[in-house]
Structure 1
Amino acid sequence: MSESVHRDWDPGLYHKFRGLRLRPAMDLLRAVGPLPEGGVVDLGCGSGAAGPALKALKRPVSGVDLSASMLEKARATGCYDALVQADLSDWAPEVPAALIFANASLQWVKDHETLLERLAGHLAPGGTLAVQMPHQNNAPSHRLWLTMAHELFPDAIDPESIPGVMLPAEYHHLLSSLGTVTLWETEYYQELSDEGDGHPVRRFTEATFARPVLNALSEAEQARLIAAYETVVGSAYPTGANGRVLFPFRRLFFTLTI
C-alpha cells in the first residue's frame, strides 16, 4: 500500500472476509480485454488473493505492496514471479506493463490526478490499467467511524490518512484524454455472519477503512471507540432472523486502455 498507512497490515484480520473481498477483483479482471505482449503487475497485491487468477493469464506476474507481512503471504501463494516492497505513490516498473491491476489499493494513495497519469505512462502500447476501489465513505459503515472518533477524540484523526476516491465523473474526465475508458459502479449486497466477536460490519471495516482511525489512538482509546461504534452500528445494519447481517457495499471500477 502507501506510506500513509504507517502500521503494518494484519493478514489474518483482513482474510476473515477473504471471499467477499475477492469477488470485486474477479469482476474487475473479467472486464480486461485483449492485452499486448508484456507482464502483469498486481499493484497493491496484499496477501496475493488475486494471484492465482492473474497467473492464469500466462504472463510474468509481479506483485507490489508496502506491507512486509502481506508480501510474505503473497509469496506463499507461489503465483508471483517477483515481489517488490514499495510505496504505490512513487512505484515505477523496470519495463512497461501489459496490465497494471490495482484492486482495492489506490484509495490509500493521494493525488490521483498525478498518480493515474503516471501509471498510464508505465503501460505498454495497447496496455490496460484496471482499478477497483471501495466507494463507501458516505455509508453508515464508514461514516460512523469518523463521526464517533471526532466526537470522542476531537482533532486526533488526520483527515489525510483516511482512504478516499474522487467522483466517478472526475475519473472519466481525467482519464478520457489518455485512452479508452470504461467506468462503472457495483453495490454488493453481502451477508455477514454474526460469529459472536463483535458486529460483523465492525469487524469487516476495522481491518481496512478504520485502520488509520484506530492507529491514531491509544489502546484504551481504541477500545472506547470500538465500544461506541458497536452501540450504533446495529441500527444501520440489523441482524436478521437467520442471524446474519445484510451489508451493502459500493465499489467503483474503471479500466483505461492506451
Structure 2
Amino acid sequence: MTMTTDRWNADQYLKFSGPRFRPGLDLLGHVPVEAPGRIVDIGCGTGDLTLAIQARWPEARITGMDMSADMLAKARKHGAAIDWVQADLTRWQPAEPVDLVYSNAVLQWLPDHPAIFAHLTGMLAGGGALAVQMPRNFDAPSHVLMRETAAEPRWRERLAGVLREDPVAGPDAYYALLSDLGFSHIDIWETEYQHVLTGDDPVLEWVKGTALTPVFAVLDGEDRAAFIADYAAKLRRTYVRRPDGVTLFPFRRIFLVARR
C-alpha cells in the first residue's frame, strides 16, 4: 500500500486473507492480456496476489511495489523470482514500460485520482492494460460509524481530517477518466461481496488491518483503546452475529479494466 508512513501490520491484514484476496483474484481473471512480458503489481502488500499473477504468467518479469516495509518483508519470504521494490507510487516509475499495471485495493488511499491514473497510464507500453480494484463501501455502516466516532467531542480535534468521506468515485467518473487517457477498451463493474466472518468482533478486526490504520497513526495507548471500545460497541449493534456464529459483512467494490 502506498502511504507516507509505514503503519501497516501484515499479520493483522492477513487475518482475513481469503476474503481479502478474492476480489484481487476476480480482477486478475478479467485481465485482457494474453502473454504480458512485463508486469507491475502496484501496492503488492504481502505478495500473495503477486504470486497469483506469476502463476498465470510464469514467463513474465514481475515487479511488486509497495510502500510498507512490513508488507514487503512478508512478500520476500515467499522466495519467488519477483522484483520487490519499496517505493512511493506517486514518485515511482518502472525502469521500462510494462504490459500490465495491476492494482488491488490500493488507490482508495490516494487523493487526486485523475493524476494517479495518468501516472499509472504513463507506465504502460503500447497495447498495455490497466487493472484496478478499489473498495467503494465508504457509505457502509463500518465506515459511517467510524467517522461518527471520530467526530465525537473526545476525538474531534485530534482526528479532524484523518478519515476521508468518499475517496472513490462512481463508474461514470472512471469511465470518463479512462476514456480521456486514451483507453478504447474499458470494462467497469461493481460487486458487493457478502464476506462470511467468524470470531469475536470480526468487522472490527477486519478494519483494524485497513480502514482504522489512519486512526492508529494518531491514537495509541489508552486513547486508542477507548476509541476502539466506543466504535466496537456500535459495530456489534449493527453487524449482529448469527446463531451459527457467523457475521455477514457486505462489502462493495469497483473494478476497472482497460486496454489502450
- Does TM, scored on the shorter chain, surpass 0.5? yes
**Equivalent residue number for residue 43 of structure 2:** 44
Is 1:70 paired with 2:71?
yes
**Equivalent residue number for residue 237 of structure 2:** 235
Q: Over aligned residues, Cα RMSD in angstroms?
A: 1.6
Taking the TM superposition and a 5 Å limit, the aligned residue runs for 1:20-169 are 20-35=19-34, 37-56=36-55, 57-58=57-58, 59-151=60-152, 152-159=154-161, 162=164, 164-169=167-172
> Displacement of 1:8 after TM fit?
2.9
1:186 to 187, 191, 206: 191
**Equivalent residue number for residue 214 of structure 2:** 212
Contact 2:6 2:69 in 1 (8 A): no
My pick for the range that moved more, 240-249 or 154-163, is 154-163
- How far does the alpha carbon of each residue in 1:103-153 deviate from its partner, in whole angstroms, 9 at most, with x for none? 011111221111101211211111111000111111001111111011131
> Displacement of 1:7 after TM fit?
3.5
2:205 to 175, 188, 203: 203
Task: Supply the distance in 2 between the matched residues of 1:7 and 1:70 (Cα, whole angstroms).
Answer: 9
Task: Supply the distance in 1 between the matched residues of 2:43 and 2:107 (Cα, whole angstroms).
Answer: 8
SS for the counterpart of 2:197 is: strand
Contact 2:151 2:160 in 1 (8 A): no
**Equivalent residue number for residue 18 of structure 2:** 19
> Displacement of 1:79 after TM fit?
3.0
Task: Supply the distance in 2 between the matched residues of 1:226 and 1:161 (Cα, whole angstroms).
Answer: 15
Contact 1:71 1:83 in 2 (8 A): yes
Gaps of 5+ in 1: none
Task: Supply the distance in 2 between the matched residues of 1:33 and 1:166 (Cα, whole angstroms).
Answer: 23
SS for the counterpart of 2:249 is: strand
AA aligned to 2:188 is L
User: Between the two proteins, what is the percent identity of the paired residues?
Assistant: 39
AA aligned to 2:54 is K
AA aligned to 1:85 is Q
- How far does the alpha carbon of each residue in 1:81-120 deviate from its partner, in whole angstroms, 9 at most, with x for none? 2111101122211111111110011111221111101211
Describe the shift of the 1:171–1:108 C-alpha distance in structure 2 as closer, same or farther (beyond 3 A). Answer: same
Contact 2:90 2:119 in 1 (8 A): no
**Equivalent residue number for residue 3 of structure 1:** 3
TM-score, normalised relative to structure 2: 0.93
1:249 to 236, 248, 251: 251
1:170 to 163, 170, 173: 173
Task: Supply the distance in 2 between the matched residues of 1:223 and 1:255 (Cα, whole angstroms).
Answer: 40
Describe the shift of the 1:81–1:52 C-alpha distance in structure 2 as closer, same or farther (beyond 3 A). Answer: closer
Task: Give the number of aligned pairs.
Answer: 254
SS for the counterpart of 1:159 is: coil
SS for the counterpart of 2:89 is: coil
TM-score, normalised relative to structure 1: 0.93
Gaps of 5+ in 2: none
Task: Supply the distance in 2 between the matched residues of 1:215 and 1:34 (Cα, whole angstroms).
Answer: 39
Task: Supply the distance in 1 between the matched residues of 2:119 and 2:216 (Cα, whole angstroms).
Answer: 31
AA aligned to 1:237 is Y
SS for the counterpart of 1:2 is: coil
- The runs of at least 4 aligned residues of structure 1 exceeding 6 Å deviation read none
Describe the shift of the 1:130–1:160 C-alpha distance in structure 2 as closer, same or farther (beyond 3 A). Answer: farther
Describe the shift of the 1:130–1:80 C-alpha distance in structure 2 as closer, same or farther (beyond 3 A). Answer: farther
